Amino acid sequence: MNEAIQTTTGEATPEELGRTLVHEHVLVGYPGWQLDAKAPAFRREEAMARALDQMQELKDLGLGTFVDPCPMDLGRDVEFLAELSQKSGMRIVCTTGAYFEAEGNTFTFRQLPVEEITEIYVKEIEEGVGETGIKAGAVKIATGSRVVSDYERKLVTAGARAARETGVPVISHTQDASCGHDQIDIVTGEGLSPDRLLVGHSDGTEDHWYQRALAERGAYVGFDRFGISLFQPDEVRIRNVLKLAGAGHLERILLSHDSIMCWLGRPLPFANSFEELLAALPKWRSTFIFEEVVPKLLEGGLSQADIDTILVDNPRRLFAAGLAKRD
Ligand SMILES: [Zn+2]
């Protein structure tokens, strides 16, 4: 059982996390992106330089920790993250776990039983990813739209078991803001307390009552796609954050952008190139919350202490909840 949080460059205490973005990405590529000979080539040096620039901006805004819950099958590159962390001085947390059935790379995990997938996740948390020694600090789980498939149920179960065994939190992907309750059911059914789970992308709906019900059950509610106006206007996200806080659930709110610094291949089916997609989503950058969302939350009635609860205390409690107590 972990006594500390695993980052890509070593251990951290919950108090060290500071201001935290719980769901951002450095590199993302859909399974099979290497097959697309029409896509621009991945240039590691350029990607590193671009990521370093963006990490510096985030450091200037006071960010202490950057959580990159890239699933294993979406181009996860933990050595890239560790190098970026060393060069930038930004604390970066990576995850174990795989994406949802329709968009993941599913053959191997469809063959393996839940026990073996659990062992694989635990291995990545306790010993490291591959031979790198770089340890995952959280489990990523994912479900598709409206229905949890057998494959997804198996992987969510494995993720919950691995989290229970190691003490790390569970960070989820939901599709179309659906199946959040199924995720809570499966995770708590495996003996995890709901405050070990962040139900991600819960801002993909206007429905305050969906978000509120997740919070009432004790899970963290991810308003973690700020800037992606393609899925939901940011005004709706802001309004619903304020509503949820007003309903007494400030301590269940987590904010992030699901931003991506460098895309591997093309961001199909949304755009033909990453530049094209970024041009269509000008607010979709990892600094948007600090620059434009926090001022609007303050105008909407939250205090600076409330903002600190959301950006500092809530991530700290999510990551601390399962840790074994030190003597
Ligand atoms: Zn994501």
Give 230-234 contacts, CB < 8 A, sequence gap 24+: 230/270, 230/280, 230/281, 231/204, 232/203, 232/204, 232/205, 232/206, 234/283, 234/293
The Å distance, Cα 70 to ligand 1 centre, comes to 6
The Å distance, Cα 258 to ligand 1 centre, comes to 5
The Å distance, Cα 326 to ligand 1 centre, comes to 32
The Å distance, Cα 205 to ligand 1 centre, comes to 17
| Rounded CA separation 38/45 (Å) | 21
**Residue that the structure tokens 């070990």 belong to:** 196
Q: What confidence score (pLDDT) does residue 128 get?
A: 98
Q: What confidence score (pLDDT) does residue 326 get?
A: 67
The Å distance, Cα 92 to ligand 1 centre, comes to 15
Instruction: Report the first-to-last Cα separation within the chain, whole angstroms.
Output: 14
Q: What confidence score (pLDDT) does residue 97 get?
A: 98
The C-alpha angle 109, 111, 113, rounded to 5 degrees, equals 80
The Å distance, Cα 224 to ligand 1 centre, comes to 9
DSSP secondary structure, 215-253, as one string = HHTT-EEEE--TT-TTTS-HHHHHHHHHHHIIIIIGGGE
The Å distance, Cα 255 to ligand 1 centre, comes to 13
The Å distance, Cα 41 to ligand 1 centre, comes to 22
Q: What confidence score (pLDDT) does residue 34 get?
A: 94
| Rounded CA separation 58/91 (Å) | 11
Q: What confidence score (pLDDT) does residue 135 get?
A: 98
The Å distance, Cα 324 to ligand 1 centre, comes to 28
CB of 162 within 8 A of CB of 121? yes
| φ, ψ of residue 16 in degrees (nearest 5) | -75, -15
Q: What confidence score (pLDDT) does residue 12 get?
A: 98
Q: What confidence score (pLDDT) does residue 327 get?
A: 63
Provide the residue-wise pLDDT of the chain in tens; the chain has 327 residues.
899 999 999 999 999 999 999 999 999 999 999 999 999 999 999 999 999 999 999 999 999 999 999 999 999 999 999 999 999 999 999 999 999 999 999 999 999 999 999 999 999 999 999 999 999 999 999 999 999 999 999 999 999 999 999 999 999 999 999 999 999 999 999 999 999 999 999 999 999 999 999 999 999 999 999 999 988 999 999 999 999 999 999 999 999 999 999 999 999 988 999 999 999 999 999 999 999 999 999 999 999 999 999 999 999 999 999 999 866
Q: Which residues of 115-144 are buried (b: 16+ CB within 10 A; e: fewer)?
A: eebbbbbbbbbbebbeeeebbbbbbbbbbb
Residues ≥6 apart with Cβ < 8 Å to 37: none
Residues ≥6 apart with Cβ < 8 Å to 131: none
| φ, ψ of residue 187 in degrees (nearest 5) | -65, -45
CB of 78 within 8 A of CB of 132? yes
| Rounded CA separation 127/41 (Å) | 32
The Å distance, Cα 62 to ligand 1 centre, comes to 22
The Å distance, Cα 133 to ligand 1 centre, comes to 23
**Residue that the structure tokens 């963006």 belong to:** 54
Residues ≥6 apart with Cβ < 8 Å to 253: 215, 220, 221, 223, 241, 244, 245, 310, 314
Which tokens in the block code for residue 188? 């708590």
